[in-house]
Amino acid sequence: MQHVLLAFGTRPEAIKMLPVVRALRKCGGVRVSVAITGQHRQMLDQVFEVFGEKPDIDLNLMTHNQKLSDITGLIISQMTDLLDKLRPDLVLVHGDTTTAMATAIAAFYSRIPIGHVEAGLRSYDLSHPWPEEFNRVAIDSLADYLFAPTLGAAENLDREYNRRGRIYVTGNTGIDALLHVAQQIDASTAMGANLSETVIELDSERSLILVTGHRRESFGAGFEDICKGLRKLAERDDVQIVYPVHLNPAVRDVVRARLGSISNIHLTDPVSYLDMVKLMKRAKVILTDSGGIQEEGPALGRPVLVMRNTTERPEAIATGTVRLIGTDPDRIYNEVSALLDDEVCYNERAKPVFPYGDGTASIQIANIIAESFAS
């Protein structure tokens, strides 16, 4: 049997890789192992529970306030040891995290083929998002299988001088995960009824603004401006803001200090993936700097305002559902208010659209891998 090792460490990776794990397990002649680094320890465990999966190997490499250089070196070293022991036929990584980049380097050093799920995304600015743009470019230069979510991503790859892998356009596995969980919520009265106790009880008379923010390039002045914009929004008596705050102290300490005393801003610990899908389905508007939510919001028909100046997901922008707004406080307030106050504008941008595929990306990736092993 051919052995595929999937390696990841963060919640977004787990959300987008566990559908691939499930699809590969259904392929004959393929043995599947899952190794995690624990880059998002608590949030990672929640996703495994939703998908009914467990990791086979937990390297548990994270420590408090680790530098990027520390975790990169540690993952390369520990993953190289693991790969030399297991000798899988393919290492599969996802996206643009430090775990994905360092694992790809370890596989390259060990002369093991690499597959990159969600290949070809580009902002063409190594500073935004940082260090994610560097990570994805590095992985794509090493990968043998490049699973691009869109034609645009494939075209990005096709233009690069150092590409060595074969390109496949599959759609995005995050949509597979989203549709799977959304269908479970819709089909189950018990599952869909309420958010868990980790999330504040919501006021049905107020519009819900869902906020996520954690990007490193916004540390410092960027998060100060985001907080100013949210404080101004909270002056409206027709809104409630829910912000699951990232555990990184550079985010958490600023956000809780600036927003913790405002009655209609509800700061929570990170919520489970199940609760996040429920929040997105319930939200009137989503404010985010997350890449995954730029994909998920359009599929749920929710307007998404991206608190960044660049994006590697232009397909979402082209639909009109997603808009780049940066971190300027006045623009945050004005863009959200325009959606809340203009019903025609809102309805034009609140239609479900699927620029990232139809929910079959994982099956396509699994079939490509199985067929390549058989040939």
pLDDT, tens only, 77-124: 999 999 999 999 999 999 999 999 999 999 999 999 999 999 999 999
| In the predicted structure, residue 204 carries a pLDDT above the cut 90 | no
| In the predicted structure, residue 196 carries a pLDDT above the cut 60 | no
Least confident range from 26-30, 52-56, 200-204, 277-281: namely 200-204
Nearest Cα to Cα of residue 175 among 25, 347, 20: 20
| Omega prior to 149 cis, within 30 of 0 | no
Distance separating alpha carbons of residues 127 and 216, to the nearest angstrom: 10
pLDDT at 148: 98
Cβ neighbours of residue 170 closer than 8 Å, sequence gap 6 or more: 147, 148, 149, 357, 361, 364, 365, 368
Threshold 0.95, pTM exceeds: no
Residue 301 backbone class (left: φ over 0; alpha: ψ -120 to 50; beta: rest): left
The CATH superfamily of 2-171+360-374 is Glycogen Phosphorylase B; (3.40.50.2000)
Confirm whether 128 is a catalytic residue. no
Report domain extents, the chain. 2-171+360-374, 197-349
Confirm whether 155 is a catalytic residue. no
| Residue with more model confidence, 20 or 182 | 20
Nearest Cα to Cα of residue 318 among 353, 291, 283, 358: 353
CA dihedral sign, ordered 321, 325, 326, 330? negative
Average pLDDT of every residue of the chain? 91
The winner for highest mean pLDDT among 243-247, 248-252, 306-310, 338-342 is: 338-342
Task: Say which of 13, 96, 225, 312 is annotated catalytic.
Answer: 96
Confirm whether 246 is a catalytic residue. yes
Q: Give yes or no on whether 2-171+360-374 and 197-349 have one common fold.
A: yes
Distance separating alpha carbons of residues 34 and 177, to the nearest angstrom: 17
Share of the chain above pLDDT 90, in %: 73
As a whole number, mean pLDDT of residues 63-68 equals 81
Task: Say which of 116, 214, 313, 349 is annotated catalytic.
Answer: 214
| In the predicted structure, residue 42 carries a pLDDT above the cut 50 | yes
| In the predicted structure, residue 72 carries a pLDDT above the cut 60 | yes
Confirm whether 315 is a catalytic residue. no
Q: Contact at 8 Å (CB) between 235 and 209?
A: no
Confirm whether 118 is a catalytic residue. yes
Q: Contact at 8 Å (CB) between 115 and 143?
A: yes
| Residue with more model confidence, 256 or 246 | 256
3-state secondary structure of 36: strand
What is the secondary structure of 214-266 as a DSSP string? --GGGTTHHHHHHHHHHHHHTTSTTEEEEEE--S-HHHHHHHHHHHTT-TTEE
DSSP state, residue 58: E
Confirm whether 132 is a catalytic residue. yes
Instruction: State the DSSP H helix or E strand holding residue 156, giving kind and residue range, or none if neither.
Output: helix 151-158
As a whole number, mean pLDDT of residues 32-54 equals 85
List, for residues 312-365, the tens digit of each pLDDT value.
999 999 999 999 999 999 999 999 999 999 999 999 999 999 999 999 999 999
CATH number (3.40.50.970, 1.10.150.120, 3.40.50.2000, 3.10.110.10) of 197-349 reads 3.40.50.2000
